[in-house]
Structure 1
Amino acid sequence: MDLEDYYRVLGLRSGASFADIKASYRRLVQQYHPDMNPNDIRAKDKFIAVTEAYKYLQTVVIPEEIISETNNVNSKVSNSTNVKTEVKTSTNIPKSAVNFHPPNLQDIEQRLKWKSYEQLQRFLQEKRFAHAIALAEALMARLPADVEVRQWLAIAYQIWGRALITEKQFPKAQIYLKKALKIDPYNKALWQEIQQDLQKLELKTHC
């Protein structure tokens, strides 16, 4: 499933807020909970799908409190000149307040980045490759200039490509291996590994 599918499972439009996602999840979980629908296979499947959609969207949608924190940082940065003037003219401000540095936007982005990375690792360990790639692609869209995020996406493509080779889905495997090269073309170690993967793939194709 892609990102829009997860929203759809929760009965929401793409781009819904984190609060809406949480509210819809709670409502649907109560509606389709197995305890409320004994021996109902459809309700059980719906319950699983709703839970999975919520867990995934938790990793890619920014909670309102973080958005609020970002806005506060913007406000504090824009008013920094006035703050400095007040510090100079006031004698009642604690000394610790003079040295106060609000968290910057980069710190907030880093928190989101590493939270997503932890989830990405879990997806790869659980062999949920489609989820891993969707998450890595969403993170790449959010942080397109981040070198580490680019490497993570390339590695996710490579791991999925290798899994597809094992499953003998050779054309699809080749697509994802080439995607890995394209997304991170200057990573020499990755390039060498993928060239070996492509050689193995070619041998298996001709066998």
Structure 2
Amino acid sequence: MKLGDCYRLLELRADARPDEIKASYRRLVRRYHPDVNPQNPQEAHRKFIQITTAYKSLLQASHRSTRTATKVKPKPRYAPKMPELSVAEKRLKFDSYKLLQQLLKEQRFARSVALVEGLAQRFPFDVEVRQWQAITYQQWGQQLIRDRGSDRPTAARALEKARIYLKKAAQTDPHNRSLWAKVERNFRELEQLY
């Protein structure tokens, strides 16, 4: 079997790493195992054999290439490193952070969101900007829960908007544990209000 066919059968790119090959193999084996497909066991068995053969071929090719190849740097699994900022960009970021702090202190959340979303577009790989954005979303969601209003339609709109911003906060910075704890607390408050 040709290597190109092996990659195609395992639904991989030609530059897939061994761990990606293994993960894809396991996923496809679970999908095409004859015991899982009782409605068409012959076709499932045929596909299962093809996937297993392709996996073994790729493993052998991978072992041969690692023995003969010189040291190759592995691909990073994280987002690309942000390029070094110029002096003007550092100044812009610092001034924006000061303005963001002031806006959040004054509870001017619409303006805060506009500011951090603009920064996120300007510095797409900046971890700090992503954190500021997530914190801003969470704080606005929290404020919407607290100031939901007394009449039912207004409160319902405010709570739905709070839910949206809390979800955005969790998605923007999913590895920030302290933020996650605050968002979970806010979601529990939301559940109690519904």
**Residue 197 of structure 1 aligns with which residue?**
186
Please give the alpha-carbon distance, in whole angstroms, between the structure 2 residues aligned to 1:105 and 1:195: 34
SS for the counterpart of 2:131 is helix
Match of 1:127 among 107, 112, 120: 107
Alignment gaps of 5+ in structure 2? 1-83, 149-157
**Residue 130 of structure 2 aligns with which residue?**
150
Match of 1:114 among 70, 79, 94: 94
Letter of the aligned partner of 1:189 in structure 2? S
Letter of the aligned partner of 1:126 in structure 2? E
Query: Is 1:173 aligned with 2:162?
Result: yes
Question: Runs of 4+ in structure 1 displaced over 6 angstroms?
Answer: none
1:107 to 1:162, Cα distance in 2 relative to 1, 3 A: same
1:105 to 1:146, Cα distance in 2 relative to 1, 3 A: closer
Post-superposition CA distance 1:24-62 (Å, at most 9, x none): xxxxxxxxxxxxxxxxxxxxxxxxxxxxxxxxxxxxxxx
Letter of the aligned partner of 1:137 in structure 2? E
What's the CA shift for 1:107? Answer: 2.8
What's the CA shift for 1:105? Answer: 4.4
RMSD: 1.2
Q: When the two structures are superposed, what TM-score results if normalisation uses the length of structure 2?
A: 0.51
**Residue 182 of structure 1 aligns with which residue?**
171
Q: When the two structures are superposed, what TM-score results if normalisation uses the length of structure 1?
A: 0.47
Post-superposition CA distance 1:164-188 (Å, at most 9, x none): 0012221110000000001111111
Alignment gaps of 5+ in structure 1? 1-103
Please give the alpha-carbon distance, in whole angstroms, between the structure 1 residues aligned to 2:189 and 2:142: 10
Alignment of 1:67-106 (within 5 A): 105-106=85-86
Q: Whose helix fraction is larger, Structure 1's or Structure 2's?
A: 1
Letter of the aligned partner of 2:174 in structure 1? P
SS for the counterpart of 1:186 is coil
Please give the alpha-carbon distance, in whole angstroms, between the structure 2 residues aligned to 1:196 and 1:154: 15
**Residue 117 of structure 2 aligns with which residue?**
137
